[in-house]
Amino acid sequence: MSLGLANQLIGFLEKLGVKQTILIGGEPTIYPHLLPVIKGLLEAGIAPNLVTNGKKLADASFSEALIEAGLKKISISVKAADSLQYMELTGVDCYNDVISGYKIIKSLGVEPSLSITLVSKLIPHVERLLNNLLEEDITAVTFDMGSPVVVGDIISGEGIPDPKELADSCVNIYRFLKEKNNRFNMRISIPLCLLPDDIRNEMKDSQAIMTCCHIQGGEGLIFDQVGEILPCNHFPAHPLGKFGVDFSDVETFMNFWHGKEMEEFRNLTRRFPSEICEGCKDWDYCGGGCFLEWLYFDPNKFIKKEVK
Ligand code: SF4
Ligand code: SF4
């Protein structure tokens, strides 16, 4: 994204009253205008949260510049359990850089959070990864669940576990961290009814899970590098509209965002994946899981009983 467009978007978001933003990629630490964008957001009263693979944070002078610019929220996305598995899964060994970057940022007074996305190749190694992180005294970890991606006209679920595998993994991680008395936070994108009743209720009561898709409620805007709005980062090439074309200020944005086409799109994402969901008391909380899952997996194989 050019710095000119980034500044225009910051001005627009400020007028819209936005208070939080997430800087994500690709990989935002290789974006040449990252520091001016962080400063511009802060001047506009918008808190930036940087989501990074963590590799560049191992460069102490780069990390110092981020913190000096005023960045206070950093999420590091961890892809593998150790150096060997990083090479195997990503082709680059950056496990040690991630750990060292985490420690550098923490020593500068900001505790980063780590995020782990549950995908098929990582699930068998999650406990090893958590043990390795605990050895480094890293306990603030948030989990995300892998979801299919729209690639052109195809829904790709390559490397994505099915909803039952994700539910089983979620339960195992919850039990593991509970035994160690550690924090547990997970963004759930599967049917809540796939979790055992007792665990689901415990997770809900302790507010350890976040559910529901931001698209369904029309919350959150995602801009790509040319100012197009994406439904979420699982739709990289399916923009809903474009800054400067479909809207250019708060008034034209409101007309666009609450217009007929956007409402029709949201209504599609709010459809019950199964008729069982119609009678479920948890519908407002669960939303039937990520609707992209149901373009790839058959909901009738997974949604068997409503929550009473
Ligand atoms: S809303 Fe549907 S998917 Fe979610 S818990 Fe209820 S029955 Fe299961
Ligand atoms: S469709 Fe919704 S739940 Fe699924 S990945 Fe996108 S934002 Fe998340």
Query: Among the atoms of ligand 2, which is closest to the Cα of residue 289?
Result: 3
pLDDT surpasses 80 at 306: no
Question: Which residue has the least CA distance to atom 2 on ligand 2?
Answer: 213
CA distances from 176 to 18, 123, 172, 179, 180 (A): 37, 13, 6, 5, 7
**Cα-based distances in Å from 269 to 31, 68, 308:** 32, 41, 23
Measured in Å, residue 291 CA sits from the centre of ligand 1 at 12
Per-residue pLDDT of 151-200, as tens digits, reads 888 999 999 999 999 999 999 999 999 888 788 889 999 999 999 999 99
- Is residue 59 over pLDDT 90? yes
CA of 267 to the centre of ligand 2 (A): 14
pLDDT above 90: residue 28 = yes
Residue 212: is its pLDDT beyond 80?
A: no
Residues 84-108 have a mean pLDDT of 94
Which ligand gives the minimal distance to the CA of 274? 1
In this structure, which long-range contacts are made by residues 266-275, counting pairs with CB atoms below 8 Å and at least 24 apart in sequence? 266/215, 266/216, 266/218, 269/213, 269/215, 269/216, 270/216, 273/191, 273/299, 273/303, 274/299, 274/300, 274/303
Measured by CA distance, the residue closest to atom 4 of ligand 2 is 290
Average pLDDT over residues 40-64: 97
CA of 249 to the centre of ligand 1 (A): 38
Residue closest via CA to ligand 2's atom 6 equals: 232
In short, whether 283's Cβ falls inside 6 Å of ligand 1 is yes
Across 243-269, average pLDDT:
93
Is the CB of 271 within 6 Å of ligand 2? no
Q: Is ligand 2 within 6 A of the CB of residue 175?
A: no
Beta carbon of 129 within 6 Å of any ligand 1 atom = no
DSSP track, 245-268: TTBSSHHHHHHHHTSHHHHHHHHH
Q: What average pLDDT is seen over the chain?
A: 92
Residue 126 confidence (pLDDT): 94
Query: Do strands 154-156 and 113-118 pair parallel, antiparallel, or not at all (unpaired)?
Result: unpaired
Residue 216: predicted pLDDT:
82
Give the Å distance between the CA of 208 and the centre of ligand 1: 18
pLDDT value, residue 308: 67
Residue 105 pLDDT class (50, 70, 90 cuts) = very high
